[in-house]
Structure 1
């Protein structure tokens, strides 16, 4: 055999040996990697947040109670009673009424105030014509007097609404608290929601427009 042919055969054998060696190394590395993954979870997965599990944790009793849920919206303690009333989709009529009667300035004060805010359904019950009349400029004083029936000076929490207790409104009228089973009523109006704490008071949603008694 010629020297040239022997040299070519040697080179071919050398490359074949190197190729087998590399393949063996790659196979060994793959096996080692598979074994490492089997022994320990992918660390990248530990940093991923599962939105569903995060949401469920945020809504458990372990979550910090930083706000009360009233009328479907959060009422933040950092906001005053006017801001919290305005944020509720169940209190749009009451919001319009206090603005029309120019009571927002008073309720923006230091307080504290306890507001028994009638829901939109409560205003529907008095009739559209009656409410429209109250919203007329010439009936502004009458509207203000009606709305004052829903405001009491001081911070009165839900737990403070005891059967037989009497509350005095900012208009000098009286509200009678009564209980029936788990229900709490103020002048016959049921308190529908646990209070929404505010920076200058608290808000209770009631299911009727209040008429107060003379003191």
Structure 2
């Protein structure tokens, strides 16, 4: 069975998260920090590149705002997969800002989603759940018993890593890969 969650249906995920931490699997409830999503990215050493791209893309104000937003933030090492395309992210300010925004929109889901919300939604929906990013990319989440894996329809794949921070306006989930390439348009084709 497969369920798809559109941006406005984060409430359904919250309902799925009503069980306790033991029922949710390997996750615990996290208390929100007083930081914003943008500040959480800035404060996490392994997410420096994503934090810098938020500034380059002009998304800092939005991710410091009301939200909520959930960002699946690639570790710094994951950007090596961009190769030469990654060089454009440090080039001309206008071009690099547009490329950074395009890249990041494929990693941001509207709403607040904790680890527990994701695990519970997967369990409730028979093994996988789909979510739609800010650029209409479909992310599919599955539990492969070694952790949660997120994939896109074009074959990008990453694993959710420990270290999620629930901020006052969303959540930051470290991941070990990119969910799309710089400059690539949304892969939300259905």
1:92-171 alignment runs, 5 A limit: 92-127=48-83, 129-136=84-91, 137=93, 138-161=95-118, 162=122, 163-171=127-135
Deviation at 1:180?
0.7
Larger radius of gyration: 1
Q: How does 1:188-203 map to 2 (within 5 A)?
A: 188-203=157-172
Structure number having the greater helix percentage: 1
- TM-superposed CA distance for 1:102, in Å, is 0.6
- Listed one character per residue, the Cα deviations across residues 28-55 of structure 1 (whole Å, up to 9, x for unaligned) are xxxxxxxxxxxxxxxxxxxxxxxxxxxx
In 2, are the aligned partners of 1:151 and 1:170 still within 8 Å (CA)? yes
Whether the 8 Å CA contact 2:143–2:149 is kept in 1: the answer is yes
Aligned-partner Cα distance in 2 for 1:67–1:88: 17
CA distances 1:142-162 after superposition (whole Å, capped 9, x unpaired): 321111111111111112222
Using structure 2 for the length normalisation, give the TM-score: 0.68
- Partners in 2 of 1:97 and 1:143 — Cα distance? 6
Task: Extract unaligned runs of 5+ from structure 2.
Answer: 1-27, 152-156, 181-185
Q: Extract structure 1 runs of 4+ deviating beyond 3 A.
A: 65-68
The aligned length equals: 143
Deviations 1:108-166 (A, max 9, x none): 11111111000011112322x32121332224323211111111111111122224211
Distance 2:178 2:135 in 1: 15
SS in 2 for 1:176: strand
Within 5 Å, give how 1:29-40 maps onto structure 2: none
- Is the 1:135–1:143 Cα contact (8 Å) retained in structure 2? no
Q: Which has the higher contact order (CA 8 A, sep 6+)?
A: 2
Structure 2 distance, partners of 1:171, 1:66, is: 29
Name stretches of at least 5 consecutive residues in structure 1 with no aligned partner: 1-64, 69-75
- Superposed CA deviations along residues 86-120 of structure 1, whole A, max 9, x for unmatched, are 00110111111111111111111111111100001
Which secondary structure does the structure 2 equivalent of 1:114 belong to?
Answer: strand
Aligned residue number for residue 84 of structure 1: 40
- Find the aligned partners of 2:53 and 2:176 in 1 and give their Cα distance: 16
